[in-house]
């Protein structure tokens, strides 16, 4: 796997059954980030998931957890276009979007 934000692309081995989860340990994550990760993992079973709290880049404290980027590779997206993938992720995170998240950037790919 190659990180999209640094290279512009993601390589995912579809033969791999192991999910690659990027980020801090559970105890270092805030409740919103933890909820995002848990919901996406359980609903989409991704091969790759990176949830990046970018709140500090927008003049907020990291603990505010209002600005996120989600990078996800899942076979659940096969046959869907980019718009449908974004709708899917937004639908899964509907509660967080309504109550906590101000902005969510999504990169959703197929294996």
Residue range 56-70, pLDDT digits in tens: 887 777 778 999 999
1 pLDDT exceeds 60? Answer: no
Q: 73 forms bridges with which residues in the sheet?
A: 48, 109
- Provide the domain limits for residue 61: 4-109
* Per-residue pLDDT tens digits for 25-55: 555 779 999 999 999 999 999 999 999 999 8
- pLDDT of the residue at 67: 92
- pLDDT of the residue at 5: 47
Q: What angle do CA 21, 85, 59 make, to 5 degrees?
A: 65
The total number of structural domains in the chain stands at 1
Distance CA 104, CA 108 (A): 12
Distance CA 73, CA 11 (A): 9
CATH number at residue 88: 3.30.300.90
């Amino acid at each position: 796997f190659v990180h999209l934000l640094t290279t512009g692309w993601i390589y995912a081995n579809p033969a791999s059954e192991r999910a690659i989860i990027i980020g801090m340990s559970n105890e270092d994550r805030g409740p919103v980030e933890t909820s995002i990760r848990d919901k996406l993992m359980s609903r989409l079973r991704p091969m790759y998931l990176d949830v990046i709290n970018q709140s500090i880049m927008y003049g907020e404290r990291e603990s505010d957890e209002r600005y996120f980027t989600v990078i996800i590779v899942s076979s659940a997206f096969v046959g869907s276009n980019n718009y449908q993938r974004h709708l899917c992720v937004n639908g899964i995170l509907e509660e967080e979007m309504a109550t906590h998240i101000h902005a969510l950037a999504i990169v959703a790919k197929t294996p």
